[in-house]
Each structure stands twice: as C-alpha cells, then as structure tokens.
Structure 1
Amino acid sequence: MKKYITANIITLNEEENIKIVIKSVQEVCDEVLVIDSFSSDKTCQIAESMGAKVVKQKYLGDGGQKAFGAPLTKNKWILSIDADERLDINAIEAIKNIDLESTSYEAFSFARKTFVGKNFIKLWYPDRVTRLYNRDLCGYSTEGGHAKVESENIKALDAAMLHYSYEDYSHMIKTTHKFITRGARISYEDGKRASVFDPFVHGIGALFKALVLKGGAFHGIHGWNVAVISAFSSYMKYALMLEKQENE
C-alpha cells in the first residue's frame, strides 16, 4: 500500500541507476520528484517514462539541491533518496507500518549498508541517515558540504537503505579525490585553517579509528582497504588546506 509520500531524488547523469531507484520508492510513494542538474544522458527521459516529475536545477550542493525540491512536492512527507541508493525490503515494510498522520515524530532515520562493488563494508555500518521527514516541521540544511535533515525529533527505524556508492575500489579512489578537494575548499572558505601537524594528526587518527575503534582490522581485506583510503582522505584534506594557505 502506497503512502502519501513524495520521493525526492537528485540526479546528474544517472541513467544506469534511475530506473531501479524509482521502482524501489514506488513501493511506498505516490509521487516521485527528480531534481536534475542538467544531465547529458537519458536520466530525465527514463524518469519521465516511469511517471516521475522532473525539474531541472543547477546544482546547489547536496543540501541545497534536496531543499530546493521540498516546496515542489504535493505531499508534506518526503522520502529523500539518492540515485545510487535503494530501499531494502525491511525499509519498505517499516515505512508502510508508520502512521504518518498521527505520528509525533518529525522525521525517521535508516541504517545504511554501503557497498564497494558487491562487497558490503561493515566498517561503515550502520551509518544512520535521516531521509523520511515532514517538510512542514523540518528540512535539509543548505550549509556546508554534507546534507542533513535538521530536527531533534527523529525516530530511528530498524530498517536499512542499500547504498551502492562505488563500482569498485578504483571508482572509490576517484570519488574520494573529489570529496577531498571539495572538503578542503569548503573548510578554507569557512575560515578554518590547518597547522603543519594537522595532516598527520587527522590521517593517523582516521586510520586508528577505522582499524581499532571500529574494528576494521578484523573485517578482512575490505576493512583494511577502506581504512587506508579513509586515512589518506583525511591526510590530504588538511594537506590541501595548507597548500591554499601557502598560496594566499
């Protein structure tokens, strides 16, 4: 049974993913809204062929792009989901069982299972994300590099989203480079400054957290791979900030 929920999906050249994610959300949503950043592939055509409403908008950042779509939905309850994510079967059932008309909660969060290729990365689980929310009571922050629903009244569901974030480790490394560059730029523009010790402190700290505190050392080769890439990412973010400072 579908609910009065609008799925809000932001896209850019997602023709490989858009059909699957729309089919996933149509299990519980009676409207699908796609906010597209002017894709050059068939993303928009595929989405429209499946009954989605497509609106084109220049990319405003993750939070800004998701917030942009909220006023355009016909429903007050919005399910925000990325093109490389899917609702697990337990998430579909959990959403169907929520009484959205009488709930006292403003939003609901899901555990997220992230994959590199076909490999589930235990190190990143449960990685809670708030994605189902009442737009009349809360919404996405438009500041910073990470999109987040701002609410203090969130119910954690015993349900999962599947996140097929990376095709393989090569893809992960390429994507990490983009996030490192963006993270360093945003921090620098926000007035934050790095010391010569920060790359080492944050790099070693990230490695220790991943391998020891989160147990990645016992998750096999995939735990080690992700830990090392995460440590490199933390190190290079501050290294790039130092470079920007030197070039002031």
Structure 2
Amino acid sequence: MTPITGIVITLNEEARIGDCIDSLRSVCNEVIVVDSLSQDDTASVAESRGATVLFQKYLGDGPQKAFGVPHASNDWILALDADERLDEDAIAAIRNLSLDDPSTAYGFRRRNFCGNHWIKAAGFYPDEVVRLYNRTTSGYLPKKAHSSVQAPKVKGTDAHIRHFTYENLSHWIQRIDQLSTRDAWAMKERGVSPSSFRPAVHALSATLRKLVLKGGLLQGSDGLTVAMTTAFHAYMKYAKLNELHENERQP
C-alpha cells in the first residue's frame, strides 16, 4: 500500500482527537496534528496515540490545513477533521486504491450526525468532500473560511466518512455562533464591506436554497431544521461582519 500521511487540525479536541487518529492509523503510516494552541489535553492525547503534534496559532481554515503538509514524510495526504472518522467502506476503498496518478484527488461521501441521528435532508447527504490528495499537484485553497482541496482531477468514491457534526441541537447552535464569528473575521480580512441589507438577503437566500432547491420542504423536521439553522448562520455571519466594522470605527 502506498504510504499516506494523515493530517488533522485541532483546537480543544481532547475528547475526539484520539478516535480520529485511530481511524487515520487504519490507512496511514504517519499522522500529524496541527494544534491551534489548545487549552486542554489535545496535544498530550494526540502524542499518546503516536501522532506528531505541531503548534500553530490559527491562520484560517485553508492556511491551517496546509501548515502541516511540508512536514509530512509522504506525498499522499489524507485530511480529516477531528470530528470525522473513516467508515469501513472508506478504509477498504483507500487500501485498494493504486494511487499511481498524483494529479487525481479522491472524494468521499459524508454522513453528518447530530448526536446519534444521521441527517440526510437538505443537502446534508451525500455531502461529498475531497480528503485524499497528492501534495505535489494539489492542496487546500488559501481561504480563511470553508476551504477545500484544489486538484487537477477529482475522482469520487461511494465510500463514507462519518462526521459527528453536533452533539445535540444546543451544540449545533453553539457551533453556529463559533463558525459565524470565524466567517465574519475571514470576510473582514478579505475586505468585505458592511451592509445593512446583506444579513437578511443571505438568510432568505439560504432558506430558499435549502427548502426548495435542496428539497428540505419535503423532508420533514430535518429539512426544516437544516434550512433554519443555515439561514441563522448566514444572517449572523453578516451581522457580525457589520459589528466588526462598527467596533473598528469606535474611538
């Protein structure tokens, strides 16, 4: 099997990083954790599972995910988030890949969970993401929010990654608060200007996209939950962007 380096970025993930590393170990001969100066035992847990830990203040999504790549011993990189695990079909698929074409990156289908509940509605499945790539031709875009792997070619697989997205609905709202703050910061860094209309316009657009284009209107409570939380996220990130600009103007 072609050697693969697993890379994970973390911030206060002591409860989840061990299982993530164990999952990567099923197909990787090396695991690197890039830690954003966690205040818990993330680093010690990662080291106890055999991972190499690098410390780096958070640079934004894409730059942070790219930080560990030059430190890898292998050209093939498998990137997971700390709350993701390889399903058995993904492990089998990766072991059977020849990986003889460095210009091809590989995508997987994510199963997104809220607690033990698998949410399939309104675009939450199959939620295809590229996770396996060769660093000589491909890598994460330098976007500070919602980055993705750019590769000359992408080949999808039918294999799955389990994404333990939210512990429960309360955690879902907490994550929206955290991510909308990060997104607002990233937009301000890119020079996005404030707007009194943008929060409402993007919230409405997100609602229509999830309910109509993604079929959430016909998918019961899950469809409505995804639509409403997506709209809330969209509204808050632009409202927080306005707040950042307002605070900057204060004497």
TM-score by length of 2: 0.90
Q: Does 1:47 align with 2:32?
A: no
What stretches of structure 1 move > 6 A for 4+ residues in a row?
none
Partner AA of 1:13 in structure 2:
N
The aligned counterpart of 1:146 is 146
The aligned counterpart of 1:88 is 87
In the superposition, relative to structure 1, how do residues 98 and 170 fare at CA in structure 2: closer, same or farther (>3 Å)? same
Partner AA of 2:193 in structure 1:
R
Q: 2: CA distance between counterparts of 1:144 and 1:38? A: 18
Partner AA of 2:233 in structure 1:
S
The aligned counterpart of 1:187 is 187
How far the C-alpha of 1:246 sits from its partner, in A, is 5.2
How far the C-alpha of 1:188 sits from its partner, in A, is 3.0
CA RMSD of aligned residues (A): 1.9
SS, match of residue 235 in structure 1? helix
- Are the aligned partners of 1:3 and 1:29 in contact in 2 as well (CA < 8 Å)? no
The aligned counterpart of 2:10 is 11
SS, match of residue 29 in structure 2? strand
Which aligned pairs between 1:1-248 and structure 2 lie closer than 5 A? 3-100=2-99, 102-103=100-101, 105-122=103-120, 123=122, 124-245=124-245, 248=249
- Are the aligned partners of 2:103 and 2:137 in contact in 1 as well (CA < 8 Å)? no
More deviation, 78-87/173-182: 173-182
How far the C-alpha of 1:83 sits from its partner, in A, is 0.8
- Are the aligned partners of 2:14 and 2:40 in contact in 1 as well (CA < 8 Å)? yes
Partner AA of 1:115 in structure 2:
F
How far the C-alpha of 1:64 sits from its partner, in A, is 1.3
- Structure 2 gaps, min length 5: none
How far the C-alpha of 1:236 sits from its partner, in A, is 2.5
- Structure 1 gaps, min length 5: none
Q: 2: CA distance between counterparts of 1:76 and 1:227? A: 39
1:162-182 CA-to-partner distances (Å, cap 9, x unmatched) read 110111111111110122222
1:179-203 CA-to-partner distances (Å, cap 9, x unmatched) read 2222223223322235433222221
Q: 1: CA distance between counterparts of 2:45 and 2:196? A: 49
| Identity across the alignment (%) | 48
TM-score by length of 1: 0.91
SS, match of residue 29 in structure 1? coil
In the superposition, relative to structure 1, how do residues 37 and 191 fare at CA in structure 2: closer, same or farther (>3 Å)? closer
Q: 1: CA distance between counterparts of 2:19 and 2:235? A: 36
In the superposition, relative to structure 1, how do residues 112 and 120 fare at CA in structure 2: closer, same or farther (>3 Å)? same
In the superposition, relative to structure 1, how do residues 195 and 18 fare at CA in structure 2: closer, same or farther (>3 Å)? closer
How far the C-alpha of 1:135 sits from its partner, in A, is 0.8
- Are the aligned partners of 1:67 and 1:140 in contact in 2 as well (CA < 8 Å)? yes
Partner AA of 2:180 in structure 1:
I
- Are the aligned partners of 1:3 and 1:30 in contact in 2 as well (CA < 8 Å)? no
How far the C-alpha of 1:78 sits from its partner, in A, is 0.6
Q: 2: CA distance between counterparts of 1:44 and 1:191? A: 34
More deviation, 67-76/104-113: 104-113
In the superposition, relative to structure 1, how do residues 59 and 201 fare at CA in structure 2: closer, same or farther (>3 Å)? closer
- Are the aligned partners of 1:3 and 1:28 in contact in 2 as well (CA < 8 Å)? no
What count of residue pairs does the alignment treat as equivalent? Answer: 246
How far the C-alpha of 1:104 sits from its partner, in A, is 5.7
